[in-house]
Amino acid sequence: MQKLTVQEVIQGLKLEVLAGQGGVNREVTNPSLSKPGLELAGLFDFYEHDRIQIIGSKEGAFFHWLDVQDQEIRVRMLFEKQPPAFVFSKNVVVPEVFIRFANQFQIPVCKSTYKTSSLFSELFAFLQAKLAERTTLHGVLLDINGVGVVITGKSGVGKSEVALELVRRGYMLVADDIVEIYQREKGIIIGEAPDVLKKYLEIRGIGIVNVVYLYGVRAYRENKRISMIVNLEKWDDAKEYNRLGLEEDKRIIFDTEIVHLTIPITEARNTATLVEAAANDYKSKHLGYHSANDFNDALNNKIKQNAKKE
Amino acid sequence: MIEMSYKISYPHGLHARPATLLVAKVSSFQSQVFLTYKGSSVNMKSIMGVLSLGVPENQSFKIMVDGVDEQECMLAIQRLIADINQSS
């Protein structure tokens, strides 16, 4: 499990710390959030005290329904369980009692510039990105017309060279060689480069090049959702390759299925064009047009018609 | 499959020059070679991969070799690391 401190959350979401500064080094271990509405109503059986607590407009309004004594007791109970931090959304006025307990327990109370639902989703995405389990893929990640494609294959098969050609054609490099990936949520795998390698591409015979300097800022993207994996391999006569594209191979990463293609390469095949075509075909399917199925339907109709004529 | 731990005593650790030497050496073998440092594993035939780890001097890392020529490969790595450490 990755480690994250409240301080990093404060910086990441540009939160304003109102009290409890002494607790900014507290650790956040749970990527989920909690809105302690039930708890303010007096029910603490379900209090998720290992999560960051969000006080939204609803909780903020409800708080003022309580009499002073209940406010005091319940907020104290919220703090006593030592959650990592409290974050108030944009339009909630932070009650004095929170400030007092924040300083007493040294638990940060912060204020966001987002409204409740945006705060919830922004903070959730941030925590997922920081705390999600990470792994690496050996390959090159590119954004081709909005499709995140990881090119894999043995060392020396020409992954980086293909990437260079695709960058030259106007697509974006995300990561060369080492792609760090995590699952933001089921179905969404995000890839990015490790810090040292960001923007760099290694080309045999030339060396390490910075694509932003060579091709401009449009040639680089920080991170990208991965839609497909294209595996390049030397043409093998003994192997059967997908000819029609009616079936799709999938590869499972964490618990997300990713389309997986194997493209054989030879001198006569322009690999960059093949990868580009694979990405465009993926996009076309995503937009609702499946070339292979369309072809297949037309063919089946033709066969039926011919059968009738007999 | 064989696995061994190493340390680089070369000043500034596994930076561009020693990394290039190691990658070039293992690339001449058929075996798959992985380098693991602080829980991240990379393909040791990839210069970018090895550099991305940023292994500092005198910190241990693991090398795992798997394939038909794993014995020879590991021996070559051992010799090369000894050479690199001596040249420091």
ipTM of the complex: 0.71
The backbone region for A15, taken as left when phi is positive above 0, alpha when psi lies in -120 to 50, beta otherwise, is beta
pLDDT band, very low/low/confident/very high, at A28 (cuts 50, 70, 90): very high
Query: Do B48 and A155 lie within an 8 Å CB cutoff?
Result: no
| In chain A, domain spans | 6-131, 134-295
pLDDT of B86: 86
CA distances from A75 to A72, A115, A300 (A): 6, 22, 69
Pairing of strands A188-192, A223-225: antiparallel
Q: How far is A178 from chain B (nearest CA, A)?
A: 6
pLDDT surpassing 80 at residue A268: no
The overall average pLDDT reported for chain A is 91
pLDDT surpassing 80 at residue A292: yes
- B33: tokens are 């070679």
pLDDT band, very low/low/confident/very high, at A106 (cuts 50, 70, 90): very high
pLDDT of A245: 81
Q: How far is B31 from chain A (nearest CA, A)?
A: 12
Flag the least confident range among A54-63, A168-177, A237-246. Answer: A237-246
Nearest CA-CA partner of B34 in B62, B5, B69, B6:
B62
Q: What CA–CA distance (Å, rounded) separates B76 from B70?
A: 10
Structural domains counted in chain B: 1
* Catalytic position from the list B7, B15, B32, B72: B15
pLDDT surpassing 80 at residue A125: yes
- Domain A6-131 grouped into CATH 1.10.10.10: no
Which pTM was predicted?
A: 0.77
Tally of CA atoms within 13 A in the half-sphere of A300 that contains its CB: 6
Separation of CA A83 from chain center: 26
Average pLDDT over residues A70-97: 93
Q: What CA–CA distance (Å, rounded) separates A274 from A149?
A: 12
pLDDT band, very low/low/confident/very high, at A247 (cuts 50, 70, 90): confident
Query: Do B51 and A136 lie within an 8 Å CB cutoff?
Result: no
Say whether residue B20 is in contact with chain A using an 8 A CB cutoff.
no
pLDDT of B88: 65
pLDDT of A239: 82
pLDDT of A94: 93
Q: Which residues contact A51 (CB under 8 A, 6 or more apart)?
A: A30, A32, A33, A34, A83, A84
- A93: tokens are 């006025």
Query: Do B49 and A177 lie within an 8 Å CB cutoff?
Result: yes
The residue to which tokens 């561009």 are assigned = B16
Shortest CB distance from A196 goes to which of B43, B45, B52? B52
DSSP E strands in A266-305: the ranges are none
Cα end-to-end span (Å), chain B: 30
HEC secondary structure over A159-192: HHHHHHHHHHCCCEEEECCEEEEEEEECCEEEEE
CATH superfamily of A134-295: P-loop containing nucleotide triphosphate hydrolases (3.40.50.300)
Residues of A with a known catalytic role: 138, 159, 177, 243
Q: What are the percentages of helix, strand and coil residues in chain A, rounded to 5? A: 40, 30, 35
Asked if A74 and A36 touch (Cβ cutoff 8 Å), the reply is: no
Residue A110 is inside which H or E element, if any?
strand A109-111
Contacts of A178 in chain B (CB under 8 A): 42, 46, 48-49, 52
Q: Write phi, then psi, for A59 (nearest 5 degrees).
A: -65, -40
As to burial, measured by CB atoms within 10 angstroms (0-12 exposed, 13-18 middle, 19+ buried), residue B85 is middle
One digit per residue, the tens of pLDDT, for chain B of length 88 reads 999 999 988 888 888 888 989 998 998 999 999 999 988 888 898 888 898 888 998 999 999 999 999 999 999 999 999 998 887 6
Count, in order, helices (H) and strands (E) of chain A: 10, 19
pLDDT of A27: 92
Average pLDDT over residues A40-48: 92
Residue B23's domain comprises: 2-86
Q: What CA–CA distance (Å, rounded) separates B56 from B51?
A: 11
Contacts of B49 in chain A (CB under 8 A): 138, 177-178
Q: For this structure, is B12 an active site residue?
A: no
- Over residues A150-171, the pLDDT tens digits come to 999 987 788 999 999 999 999 9
Nearest CA-CA partner of B1 in B60, B73, B79:
B73
Query: Do B48 and A200 lie within an 8 Å CB cutoff?
Result: yes
* Torsion A160-A162-A165-A169 (CA) sign: negative
* CATH number of the CATH domain containing B24: 3.30.1340.10
Residue in chain B nearest A198 by alpha carbon: B52
Contacts of A198 in chain B (CB under 8 A): none
DSSP code for B37? E
pLDDT surpassing 70 at residue A244: yes
pLDDT band, very low/low/confident/very high, at A248 (cuts 50, 70, 90): confident
Size of interface A-B (CB pairs under 8 A): 34
Residue in chain A nearest B20 by alpha carbon: A207
Say whether residue B51 is in contact with chain A using an 8 A CB cutoff.
yes
Q: Write phi, then psi, for A29 (nearest 5 degrees).
A: -115, -20
Binding-face residues of A in 149-208 toward B, CB within 8 A: 155-156, 176-178, 194, 196-197, 200, 202, 208
Contacts of B46 in chain A (CB under 8 A): 138, 155, 177-178
Identify the residue among B22, B36, B46 best suited for mutation to test binding to A, counting A beta carbons within 10 A and taking the highest. B46
Average pLDDT over residues A131-135: 86
pLDDT band, very low/low/confident/very high, at A80 (cuts 50, 70, 90): very high
What percent of chain A shows pLDDT beyond 70? 99
pLDDT band, very low/low/confident/very high, at A130 (cuts 50, 70, 90): confident
Residue in chain B nearest A178 by alpha carbon: B49
Average pLDDT over residues A255-274: 90
Average pLDDT over residues A198-205: 90
